[in-house]
Amino acid sequence: MAKCPFCDVEGRSGLVLKETPTVLVLANLFPAVDGHLLVVPRGHFGSLAELPPDIASEMFKEAVEAACTLERMGHPAGINIFLNVGRIAGQSLEHLHLHVVPRNEDDGLENFKRKDPSRERVPESTVALLKIAFS
Ligand SMILES: [Zn+2]
């Protein structure tokens, strides 16, 4: 069975930009654009339900700091911070991780786009279901 590349810190040591006791900040080996970083928990968590809240907080804190560093370095026009959960959402490795991606005009990346532009407002029924779920 192949070793998880994010658990194999030895194999990634050349890409490590910052280490904390729980999180690594890595240069992405396969960046979408120059400056694409990853924030990876040291523990192997394959789902959000497995991810401890304190580690999720640490990941986001490090992602914000990484984004600020990218802003100081290259003054990108924008930055995306995101986490993909599930193959349909773009999760390519089981080990959950945050992406920090500097964005510029004509960088070749696309933002989320609605397929049906006529449906712009959230339906009241959806809001009602969400309120029940969050209550
Ligand atoms: Zn792993």
Dist. CA 36 → ligand 1 center (Å): 20
Residue 116: what pLDDT? 75
* Residue spans of the chain under pLDDT 50: none
Could you tell me the pTM of the whole model? 0.89
Residue 12: what pLDDT? 75
Residue 74: what pLDDT? 86
Q: What is the DSSP string of 70-133?
A: HHHHH--SEEEEEE--SGGGT--SSS--EEEEEE-TT-S------S-TT--SPPHHHHHHHHHH
Residue 2: what pLDDT? 63
Dist. CA 5 → ligand 1 center (Å): 6
Dist. CA 116 → ligand 1 center (Å): 37
* C-alpha separations of 12 from 17, 38, 81 in Å: 10, 12, 21
Q: How many CA atoms lie within 13 A of 45 on its CB side?
A: 23
User: What structural domains and CATH numbers belong to the chain?
Assistant: 9-108 (3.30.428.10)
